[in-house]
Every structure is written in structure tokens, then in C-alpha cells.
Amino acid sequence: MKFLVTKDLAHSTLLGHLILGVCIALFFYLGSDIVLHAYILGDNLIALSNTLYGNVDEFIEPILLDSLLLQVHIDLFMSLFSIMILASIYIRLFSKRKITKQLVHFLFIFGLAAPISLLIAYFTSVGVIYTWLVCFFFWHLLGLGMSLAIIKKLLFK
């Protein structure tokens, strides 16, 4: 936590290696989270619609509300945890960039809107699934990009 207060990595190479390891782990978490959601909910609009609403013609039952609530609960917790770590490290390393503030704001907005829009889509219509897809992929791509920028800066300083 000292890094979050002083942002000085010159005196502690171990702290730099730990932050690098956390960012590498977050990079792989974000990538595997995309694969996990594709497996659980579906990898296209039709599969996602069948998961949320079911399909009478193909005898597919919709996802149970308690399963969806559990998924949304886990997504909210993990996205907040990941966003806080990524944002705090990114702000400390790239505070002089003008775009840092906007990137962090977009990361928070898309990261929190994704699980909430999935729950709203369950109760409303297929159109809200597009909102979930956009928010989900934007926050993951932004998080992957930010973690790569952090990894690059820590490896090649």
C-alpha cells in the first residue's frame, strides 16, 4: 500500500515486482472472464437471449433468477475489486497524462453498468442485451489495455 501513497518504486524493486504480478494476474483474469461469460451466458446475441429468456421451440429453459442474481453479485464484486486495483495503479503511474482521468471514469462507468444492465435485460427486453454487450466488452478491453500499459511501464522503465 506504500506505493499508493508515495508512488515511488525506485527504492523498492520487490514492490515493483509485486505490482507487476498483480497486473499480469488482472490481465489474465479479464481475459478469462470474457471466456467464462461466453460459456455461461452465451457467445452471441441468440445464445444470450436463449439463456436469459429461454426458447420454447428448442425446449431451452430461461436462467433461474437466483442464478442470475448470483452471477450479477459476483460480477459486481469482482469488477469493483479489479477496477479499484487497476485504477489506483494506473493513476499513480500515468498521472501526468491528460487522458488518465477520462479512462478511469469510463472504466468505472462501463464496469458497473455491465452487471446492472444484464439484470435489467432479464426483466425487460432483448434490446438491453446490446447495452450489456457494449458495457461488458468496453470495460474488459479498457481494463486489458490499462493493464498492458502498466505492465509495459513497469517492465521497461
DSSP-based three-state secondary structure for 55: strand
**Mean pLDDT score, 84-109:** 93
In tens, the pLDDT along 9-39 reads 656 778 888 899 999 999 999 999 999 999 9
Asked whether the beta carbons of 152 and 92 are under 8 A apart, the reply is no
The string of DSSP codes covering 80-113 is HHHHHHHHHHHHHHSTT-SSHHHHHHHHHHHHHH
In tens, the pLDDT along 60-74 reads 898 999 999 999 999
Is residue 8 pLDDT above 80, yes or no?
no
- What are the grid coordinates assigned to 119, written together? 439484470
pLDDT of the residue at 57: 87
Q: How far out from the chain centre does Cα 103 lie?
A: 13
In which residue are the cell numbers 479489479 written? Answer: 82
- pTM of the entire structure? 0.86
Cα–Cα–Cα angle for 112, 45, 33, nearest 5°?
A: 45
